[in-house]
Chains A and B, each alone.
Chain A
Amino acid sequence: DTAVSQTPKYLVTQMGNDKSIKCEQNLGHDTMYWYKQDSKKFLKIMFSYNNKELIINETVPNRFSPKSPDKAHLNLHINSLELGDSAVYFCASSPSGGMSDTQYFGPGTRLTVL
């Protein structure tokens, strides 16, 4: 059983397109996150949701819009894709979003914008 799953694993698209990445966790956690990892492996938090409510938005451009239909899902929609959006995007979840939580990561989605 996969704890945190993401689809698709790879996404190749043209500049200007709109795309979505889906994330699901079956751990019963209340909090979910999106991270972006650049080509130099720097991992940066983008958003977090607790029980479908936005908790953290780390000054991410408006072109990125997370959506949480329920606490087990956190999808990421990206409008008007740019070359700089190319990265690996990781979804993660944690029990309550507290500072001592362990975060459980998905396998990542490698986005390539041409």
Chain B
Amino acid sequence: SQQGEEDPQALSIQEGENATMNCSYKTSINNLQWYRQNSGRGLVHLILIRSNEREKHSGRLRVTLDTSKKSSSLLITASRAADTASYFCATDRGSTLGRLYFGRGTQLTVWP
């Protein structure tokens, strides 16, 4: 069964606006990661947040993690047309083996 549940499933915004995507999961985790997938391409790692961290930043990306609610959010500020992609969260379900369990993703469309 899938681990992450991203919402919304699809998000459409104008360039310059902020985009917020959410992810919920069901089990304990060590880490949570966010990946991006451009159409017809493989996934690209964006950011990893550990279970003992609450917030992390990378450029225009801000990730939060609330382990009590088993949820995470990915905020992209000042979005660009090039940010158009699917965004996936992935967790390890507490395993140390490096296996990742992905959600179905949020399809983000940024209009110029």
Contact = CB atoms under 8 A, between A and B. Distances in A.
Interface of A: 4, 31, 40-45, 48, 55-56, 58, 90, 92, 94, 96-108
A22 to B, nearest CB: 15
Interface stretch (B41-49, B60-68, B74-82): B41-49
B2 A99 contact: no
B99 A90 contact: no
Given A41-B86, A42-B2, A99-B31, A108 B98 contact: no
Contact of A43 (B40, B88, B96): B88
Given A99-B31, A100-B31, A43 B43 contact: yes
Interface of B: 2, 30-31, 33, 35, 37, 40-45, 48, 50, 86, 88, 92, 95-102, 104-105
Contact of A56 (B42, B88, B97): B97
Those 9 A-B pairs whose CB atoms lie nearest each other, nearest first: A105-B42, A97-B98, A43-B102, A102-B45, A105-B43, A99-B96, A99-B30, A99-B92, A107-B42
Contacts of A45: 99-101
28 contacts: A4-B42, A41-B86, A41-B105, A42-B2, A42-B104, A43-B88, A45-B99, A45-B101, A48-B97, A48-B98, A56-B97, A58-B99, A94-B98, A97-B98, A99-B31, A99-B95, A99-B96, A99-B97, A99-B98, A100-B31, A100-B50, A103-B43, A103-B45, A103-B100, A105-B42, A105-B43, A107-B40, A108-B40
Contacts of A43: 43, 88, 102
Contacts of A4: 42
B49 to A, nearest CB: 11
Contacts of B30: 99-100
Contacts of B44: 105
Report which residue of B45, B86, B100 has the largest number of chain A beta carbons within 10 angstroms of its beta carbon.
Answer: B100
A41 B105 CA distance: 7
B17 to A, nearest CB: 23
Contact of B99 (A40, A56, A100): A56
